[in-house]
Amino acid sequence: MKRLALIISLLLPLSSVARQAAVSSPDGTLAVAVSDDNGLLTYTVALDGAEVVMPSRLGFAADFGNFLQGLQITRSTPGEADRHYQMRQVKQSHIHYRARLLDVEVENAQGQRMTVQFSVTDRDVAYRYLIPRQKGDNPKCAVILSEASAFRLPPGTTTFLTPQSNPMVGWERTKPSYEEAYRADAPMTDRSLFGQGFTFPCLFKIPSAGASSLPAAAGKPSAGARASAGASASPYAATVSQQSPPGAWLLISETGVGSQYCGSHLSDYDPQEGYTIAFPMPGENNGLGSTTPGIPLPGATPWRTITVGRSLAPIVETTVAYDLVEPLYEPKASYPCGRYTWSWLIWQDASINYADQVSFIDLAAAMGYEFCLVDNWWDQRIGRDAVARLAAYARSKGVGLMLWYNSNGFENDAPQTPRHCMNTAVARDKEMAWLQSIGVGGIKVDFFGGDKQETMRLYEDILQDANRYGIQCIFHGCTIPRGWERMYPNYVSSEAVLASENVYFSEDAASREPFDLCMHPFVRNAVGTMDWGGVILNRHMAKDNRSRHTRKTTNAFELASGITNQAAIQCVALQPNNLQELGEAELAYLRRLPSTWDETRLICGYPGRYVVLARRHADEWYIAGLNATAAPLTLSIPLDMYSPGQAVTLLGDTDKKGRPAPDATVQTTLKVSRKGDVKVTMQPDGGFVILQDAE
């Protein structure tokens, strides 16, 4: 078969003869080979014939049987998938999933059976284990004790990873909360900071994959205007290399994790095994719940996903998290998307009073925003009766109210209220009915306890119960989403990142913001929606906009972050004073800023250094760039969505004479060149936005 490379040797009965199976992507660039050599089940992934995943273990140990060794491939069955589906709240609205499939059936020495199911698209490899009932129609359930699932990468691979935290540490024992820092360009052999491995998603740069020179993305900086290699302005800034990196890029993650499994992460690197799937730590969820998942049989494990590209574009643009899952229930409402205001980011707990929340509702109405989020302590500092009046006031202004909740429970010591409203079915039903009665259509639930199956079940229960009352959900202090945007129709986004509140809390985090936001399009935001928490326009991190430490980014950087950060309900952290302080061009842009996208393209970038993204909303393109390097960065931006000679509007931080304008946004009209590009300069910790029409 030309379209499917399938090789399986079943004619020789001797166990010493390795049986093999293989499958390639529709375009033939990605190939997976599976072998049972010496009774060990392994797979490889090749890109254009060069291995990017070296022979790596497959299999698992369950309470009923061992699928780690003594394994034999008994059959392989090819298949195809070709379907279209719609999404409302991710990077692309219409998705075409086209893949070659391969089911590899395996027996262990005791004659027990399982199947490894592969899906291979032109940019993604994914696999999972299908476990049937065994002889005599038993067992009817299983506990998965461990997975051998591994990822051995070529020598010299470098990493872009964030460490898994120890459990029950940090503020009020709220970790792990997926809020550790990323480290860029680290050796694969470096141990994780806490010795617990690394949280998904995990990005790797392969030094060579059959090509001598590969672009960082679809485009690259112009040779004459790259950042200098001088000292960085902050410890988190980086410089752009003089040569685009060779090799390939891999992004490893998982999808399809709901109440039927635990969330997983990657172990530390082992020279023999590579990285392996690691289950939650015993101390998560305050020590309650098993670290090993239990599933009914027949059943399936989640998908392990590997996105592969010669450039970073497949990494940023992948939809693998959604391709492999299906909705678990029908939406009970037509859930709106949009923008929200949020007093707490700058005004903090003192703003949780009726008058201040009215001012932020008025701010949302003035900007044409759809929502206002009232944060923690509202039940004590405003009161439930007054919140009902506040919700009615918001509706009168055309604004929907969202309310914050603590997920506790018992999983940590976070004191903020409302507590004990989301952790049991009885409490949730009562609370959701009340929310529906006062017209609140969205909640933000915070402070979860880790990745155990017990906690995954809590996420699912909250979402399902909220859907019955037409309420959509944002999660904070939480794990990453794993296909949830498609699985749960009322799911919006998760934090699961070192987010904007840290810019308020410390000057160090403010200095780190450019690095972080130039990292997330390639990692965290590549696999799921991300509630980073705010386009910040205050120069000082204080209500008076004069005291405390300053924001380190330019205004244009912040405007661009509203595009590079992706969430269907996006926080624009305007303060009432910003309406008088910002220029009309900035306010006009913030009023028109979409939060949903029909198409996303990576134009160019390098994780932690710079990024340029193009996103389309309906028939209008928004192009945004961020620069985390220590010097001005000039780029020639290819704009094939426009015609040569077409005028576009640039909102940037560099004036026509090349001088920096960090505290104001310079509006310029550019024309697309005959080559189909425009030249743009970003200041250090700066950015730009290109809009379709010149105004």
Asked if residue 643 and residue 576 are part of one domain, the reply reads: no
Q: What is the pLDDT of residue 16?
A: 56
**Model confidence pLDDT, tens digit, residues 592-602:** 999 999 999 99
Confidence of residue 218 (pLDDT cuts 50, 70, 90): very low
Residue 657 pLDDT > 90: no
Domain annotation covers residue 253: yes
Q: Read out DSSP for 107-130?
A: E-TT--EEEEEEEE-SSEEEEEEE
Of 598, 632, 648, the residue at which a domain comes to its end is: 598
553 CB-contact burial (10 Å; exposed 0-12 / middle 13-18 / buried 19+): buried
Write the secondary structure of 610-632 as one string of H (helix), E (strand) and C (coil).
Answer: EEEEEEEECCEEEEEEEECECCC
Q: Are residues 685 and 661 in the same domain?
A: yes
Residue 27 in domain: no
Give the chain's length: 695
420 with 482, same domain: the answer is yes
> What pLDDT is attached to residue 358?
98
In degrees and rounded to multiples of 5, residue 25 shows phi and psi of -70, 165
Domain range enclosing 195: 158-259+301-323
Mean pLDDT of 581-601: 97
Give a yes or no: residue 119 inside a domain: no
The whole-number average pLDDT for the span 429-450 is 98
Q: Are 665 and 653 in contact (CB under 8 A)?
A: yes
Return the CATH number at 685: 2.60.40.1180
Is residue 113 scored above 60 in pLDDT? Answer: yes
Please tell me whether residues 619 and 471 are part of one structural domain: no
A 10 A CB-CB count for 255 gives 25
Give the model's pLDDT for residue 231: 31
Q: pLDDT at residue 468 above 90?
A: yes
User: Is pLDDT of 235 > 50?
Assistant: no
49, part of any domain: no
Which pLDDT score is estimated for 246?
A: 54
Residues 343 and 220 in one domain: no
Sign of CA dihedral 105, 108, 112, 118: negative
- The last residue of a domain, from among 567, 598, 629: 598
Task: Band the pLDDT of 278: cuts 50, 70, 90.
Answer: very high
Residue 471 lies in a domain: yes
Asked if 309 and 440 sit in the same domain, the reply is no
Lowest mean pLDDT, pick from 19-28, 202-211, 372-381: 202-211
pLDDT at 165 over 60: yes
> Residue 409 — pLDDT band, cuts 50, 70, 90?
confident
Check if the beta carbon of residue 205 is closer than 8 Å to that of residue 215: no
- Whether residue 646 sits in one domain with residue 523: no
SS3 529: coil
**Same domain flag for 354 and 496:** yes
Cβ 377 vs Cβ 416: under 8 Å = yes
* 245 and 392 belong to one structural domain: no
Residue 447 has pLDDT above 70, yes or no: yes
Indicate whether 425 and 521 sit together in one domain.
yes
644 found inside a domain: yes
In a domain, 145, yes or no: no
Domain count, the chain: 3
Chain CA centroid to CA 444, Å: 17
| Residue 215 binned pLDDT confidence (cut-offs 50, 70, 90) | very low
Q: What is each CA distance from 525 to 236, 293, 634, in whole angstroms?
A: 19, 27, 25
Residues 133-164: pLDDT tens digits? 999 999 999 999 999 999 999 999 999 999 99
Q: Does residue 447 share a domain with residue 354?
A: yes
Domain contains 31: no
Q: What is the pLDDT of residue 347?
A: 98
What are the Cα distances from residue 264, in Å, to 119, 151, 302, 661, 685? 20, 14, 10, 45, 34
Which pLDDT band holds residue 558 (cuts at 50, 70, 90)?
very high
Mean pLDDT for the chain overall: 92
pTM to 2 decimal places: 0.93
CATH number of the domain to which 513 belongs:
3.20.20.70
Same domain, 309 and 432: no
